[in-house]
Amino acid sequence: MKNTGHYCSSSTFIIMFIHLVINIVVSPYLTNVAVEGFDPVIQLSYSGSNITQSISKPVFSVVDYGAIGDGLHNDTKAFLKAWEIACSLPGSAKVVFPFGKTFLVHPVDVTGPCRSNITLKILGTIVAPQDPLAWNDLNLHKWFYFHGVNNLTVDGGGRINGMGHEWWAKSCKINHTNPCRPAPTALTFHRCKNLKVRKLMLLNGQQMHMAFTSCIRVVASDLKVFAPAFSPNTDGIHISATRGVEVKDSVIRTGDDCISIVRNSSQIKIRNISCGPGHGISIGSLGKSDAWEKVENIHVYGAYLYNTDNGVRIKTWQGGKGFASNITFKNVVMENVSNPIIIDQYYCDSQYPCDNQTSAVKVKNISFIDIQGTSATEEAIKFSCSDASPCKGLHLENVFLASFMGGNTRSYCWQAHGSTRGSVYPPSCLSSTNDFIRQKVWLEPNPAIDSI
């Protein structure tokens, strides 16, 4: 028995010694050069290195499964084969797109659940097919699509390029003679839990760059998302029906919303975002086609917006139902931003005029705190709320929005009720709570008064 115990102790010592050798001797030679301003990442050993794999996560390079990585040959099957094996194993695993190569990946569904917790390490570049015909007989809404994969991490410092130019040229928003058709979201995560996406660059999405739909517990950080200002519908990060999201420390420059948050999403935190050009940070649109939708508990803390069409925005369609509530925009700096602060309950993104309707998504308990900068338009604050469902609980605190071109700025309010604190410029036009109660007393039918 003593000999057996001594043998186990020696084995433990040997494993510890191997770890020490790898950390001190091998690791410095595996460190990769920083990519596009990201922190250096570890260049993993993609083939061989049985010692490393036996004491850490098994590593599956797509090159070992037939990927060419020249940007011309289709590497989709190689990726799916590596993923299938990694997904089938217990514990943890890594699937790697190696540094220095460009991998052509056609529309692909990556489906869970997996037995393992997978890290998808994108060190090189992944590109989409340039020709939209590659989507013939396929779902036009998807390119890289992850479904039902839990405990997934996607990182590595590499690039994902949607090659969107051909899609933009066919868009009805670029050429109004074209029919309006869908285009793929470059990177979609659907029904994923405990998801981390970090240290990636997304370029030229066919339409939206990254979407989280029906997910729970997501952290997206250290991202760079770039597309030309003219590219249509290329939202940077889109959040829908998702709960528990943190987006932080990222730069987004696209042709549409930097971040859009839509139906049935809650518990969203956005921190340290640089946004512009694009359409700003948007809640909505909500309530299209008379839908019931809600968005609540959204906190934007720390953002810099420049040359954007909007700043911080809430937009709803007439006829919708539900609510947008408990939303805070705080510590936001704006430079040459059109519509810096805007709530629009008459949103209409349509080729035809929208009908006036009485029902509306309720907007309540919205705070704008420590908002500074310059407005590209005279109307720096605009609250255009519903007659049937006025905005309630709006709050402005320490707001200063001067004109970018010089001159004065002003506020516009319609059916908007709330309060101010500290210095607010342009001067607030909000109706106080007492004004709102007074209006209700005199404007609504009152049997006791009408009988006199």
DSSP state string for 26-88: IHHHHBPPP-TTPPP-B----S--HHHHHHS--EEEGGGGT---EEEEE-HHHHHHHHHHHHH
How far is it, in rounded angstroms, from Cα 442 to Cα 340? 34
Q: Are strands 265-275 and 243-253 parallel, antiparallel or unpaired?
A: parallel
How far is it, in rounded angstroms, from Cα 197 to Cα 352? 39
* The two three-digit tokens of residue 186, written as one number: 């470059």
Q: For this structure, is 238 an active site residue? A: no
| Catalytically annotated residue among 141, 279, 299, 417 | 279
| Alpha-carbon separation of residue 93 from 53, 89, 259 (angstroms) | 10, 8, 31
User: Pick from 326, 429, 329, 405: which is nearest to 372 by CA?
Assistant: 329
| Alpha-carbon separation of residue 403 from 102, 264, 369, 408, 430 (angstroms) | 46, 36, 19, 6, 21
What's the number of CA atoms in the CB half-sphere (13 Å) around residue 253? 12
CA end-to-end span of the chain, whole Å? 103
Known catalytic residues?
279
